[in-house]
Amino acid sequence: MKKNSFFRVLISLIISFILISGCANIKEDPTEDWSGEQLYYAAKEQLDDGFYEKAIQLYSSLDLRYPYGPYAAQGKIDVAYAYWKQDDTANALLACNRFLREHPEHKHVDYVYYLKALVNFNDDLGVMGLVMSKDLTERDPKAARDAFDTLKELVTRFPDSRYAEDAKLRMAYLVNALAQHEVAVAQYYYRRGAYVAAIGRAQDVLEKYPKTPATQIALEILSASYEKSGMFESQKGIEQLIEINFPGERISIDFERNSSWWEFWDREKAREGESTSGAGTDKPWWKFWVDEGKPPSQE
């Protein structure tokens, strides 16, 4: 019995030594005793320097330790921006939606709507990637629609916001992008002999986006699809609409085969004497955001 007791004591001492040694090697959290203000400004410094992962960690600590402090709301705004800069669309949108749910009356809520739209606007599948795929029917313009809806809410609720004018420009762009997507899909169906599907898509353009440049191509697709389908009376009606709305401006529905859809829209804007480039630079205008999308300050 004495021998067994000795071994039990020895084992306990060894385990205690291992645990103590392990704890000694664990580095303590240097921010453990920091105030909310210290956490916030440390996170802000990391954010400004472009160290987004570290900023997110510090903002998360701020949120956990001081969820109702004076820096909590601003931290939630900043962390949404940090996620966006990391191309983490899902978490950026979650952070925006959380803020809008928890702080609907915050002084910077208009910016959060703006940031949410920015996240969706820059989503490749949502805007610039709408018609980049070989199989156009697989492209989902949901992100572009979500961006439009968010910008619309921003402009409606905060017409005097510093972000409102820019939001209106992007809404116009998105409407044209969505219309051109529908036209591209209609062309896709037409070229493959799916004339009924092409007619349906072209009609959607006329119904949903009646004042966009895409309507001219939609009418041409309708006319050609009706002709291919032997629906000559319907074709005659469309031909009359083309002549009334675009006299002497007939275009080929295959003209975009070797070009990008936004090039057509740029040409239309050029006809109206509107520039598609940012002032003083060759950077495309739609890549400009107020303050490059940076969040407003805590003050």
φ/ψ of residue 229, rounded to 5: -90, 0
Q: What is the 8-class DSSP label of residue 297?
A: P
Burial class (CB in 10 A: 0-12, 13-18, 19+), 244: exposed
φ/ψ of residue 11, rounded to 5: -65, -40
SS3 263: helix
CA distance linking residue 18 with residue 40, whole number of Å: 37
For 65-116, what is each residue's pLDDT tens digit? 999 999 999 999 999 999 999 999 999 999 999 999 999 999 999 999 999 9
Amino acid letter, residue 98? R
Angle, CA of 254, 190 and 259, to the nearest 5°:
30
111-293: CATH number: 1.25.40.10
**10 Å Cβ neighbour count for 117?**
28
For 35-67, what is each residue's pLDDT tens digit? 999 999 999 999 999 999 999 999 999 999 999
Band of pLDDT at residue 277, cut at 50, 70 and 90 = very low
Nearest-10 crossing angle of helices 52-65, 36-48: 160
- Which residue in 225, 221, 218, 223 sits closest to 195, CA to CA? 225
For 205-262, what is each residue's pLDDT tens digit? 999 999 899 999 999 999 999 999 999 999 999 999 999 999 988 888 764 444 444 4
CA distance linking residue 235 with residue 280, whole number of Å: 47
φ/ψ of residue 284, rounded to 5: -55, 140
Domain ranges of the chain: 33-107, 111-293
33-107: CATH number: 1.25.40.10
Model confidence at 10: pLDDT above 60: no
Per CATH, 33-107 and 111-293 having the same topology is answered yes
**Of residues 276 and 184, which shows the higher confidence score?**
184
CA distance linking residue 45 with residue 55, whole number of Å: 8
Angle, CA of 49, 51 and 54, to the nearest 5°:
130
Band of pLDDT at residue 31, cut at 50, 70 and 90 = confident
Whole-model pTM above 0.85? no
Q: Which two tokens stand for residue 150?
A: 């968010």
Number of residues assigned to the chain: 299
CA distance linking residue 195 with residue 217, whole number of Å: 15
Contacting residues for 285 by C-beta, under 8 A, at least 6 apart: 169, 275, 276, 277, 278
